[in-house]
Structure 1
Amino acid sequence: MSDVDLRKLRYFVAVAEHLHFGRAAEQLFIAQPVLSRQIRALEEELGAQLFARDRRGTALTAAGEQLLADARPLLAAAEALQRRVIRAVEGTQRFTVGFMPGLIVTAAVRTLTERHPGLTVDLVRTGWFDQVEVVHDGRVDVSVVRLPVDPHGLVVRPLYTEPRVVVLPADHRLAGKDAVAVGDLADEHLLQDPDTVPEWSAVATELGTDRPAVPVFHSVEEKLEHVAAGRGVMFLPLSVMTFYTRPDIAYVPVPDLAPLQVSLAWSSVRPVPLAEEFALLAAQ
């Protein structure tokens, strides 16, 4: 078997994510016939059919599913390698920290730079969808994350926990309370994955009420807009409450919700100097 071409793997991942050769070709800025030839070449090199194509569309085969699972971390590792080489060429000593909205890393960053003169610490804001992706692809050395995350390929070091609050429209019947119970919110429309709030899911299921589909959001800002418009409620970490203040929403503590775990994550497949030291500083 010949060595796998990373370019072909990128082409494969694009088709696998779109399940449409035309859209994948547009994303890759190549002609569709060229993309089809590259995928056929990859299938010949691997000795396996990766896609099943018929009148209904394109689907991954079992071999394709396996390759997709393996290709993503491999491509991420290749990108991380390229970034590290560029750093070495530049001759700069850099340490990059990813952080979620509401999580403050200033004290740890200051102490680290004081301990290591000449070190440049860069900061990258992350979100729920890329808080560990930035570690895998090398954009950051460490990432301050909120669990749960997929621990595959990571070292995950607990830092601390933080309580959660419910976010309500300012004119909501419970908006002026000092605290509310999860049961008080059982009949509300939840604007997030119910699996992330099992305490709410348990009491909501008991009511047996049909629930509308949960919208797909890509940022906290989008979620807060929907809450302010009266379309539902959501649960957020307490630190996010201090990060986003606005007059048309209210934050109310929910004592019977389990706190969220904040951790530091870094790659387990490549050395990350200073990761352990930063973890100790961030936990203080």
Structure 2
Amino acid sequence: MNHPITIKSGDIELAGVLQYPVVQEGARCGNKYPIVIICHGFIGNRMGTDRLFVEAAEQLTRSGHLVLRFDYGGCGESTGDYGSGGLDELIAQTRTVIDYASGLDLVDSERLVLLGHSLGGAVAVLTAARDARVKSLVLWAPVAHPYMDIRNIVGMKAIEEIDTVGKTDYMHYLFTKRFTDSLAQFQPLTELGGYGGDVLIVHGTADTVIPVDYCFLYQKMFWLRKEGNCDKEVILQGDHTFSSKASRDELFDVSLRWIESIGKRRSDWSLWTI
């Protein structure tokens, strides 16, 4: 069952959908469920390219997970202007969504997962480093160098226009110097040390938007932490949005098995007392 929601974040209204897990007939009411919050990428939306996040949510709810998909301010059906803010606003909006999810009675707060794709992956990392409520991270083709990676997407001409005029129009979004300055300010690879939870990184070898090498770099940096595990999966011929059926099936299978294994591990540990 899908429940449309609106979450207030400052002056912005974030549009989203809360999807309930599929439960067996006669199952006991009052259970708490793990929740996966999906963070979309640069000028994206909660549906994802070719319904990527819709299909992911269908897989997760069938496996007993709550899923919360939302549009960042200025994207999809949310109010606001995406290009006028910076990564700090995206982090703040993500934390507001976590506030909402954490306040739901049916959410198991010990199994809150942030799933981020592309720039949403970088935002998920930066959010987790600041918010202990994030227990697990799933990163799909995550941005590692926000300024450089977004510069490569919008092109040098747009960046030069921002530097000289103060703004540029890209895909009908108006981006300002505040946005590009914030991209340079935040460094997920160095800030990830503030997060002590478990991580899964999945990247495709045919990704021409964000280099597949990033998944190895991310894993190395996550391994340098004092706590928390990091697993990675490289999907052969997978592009940036895992658009082929084979790569998407593998993406969902790997991610779901990992999320369930982390959940089982937490459940097993909860049976132990000291």
- Please indicate, yes or no, whether the TM-score normalized by the shorter chain is above 0.5: no
Q: TM-score, normalised by structure 2?
A: 0.25
Higher Cα Rg, which structure: 1
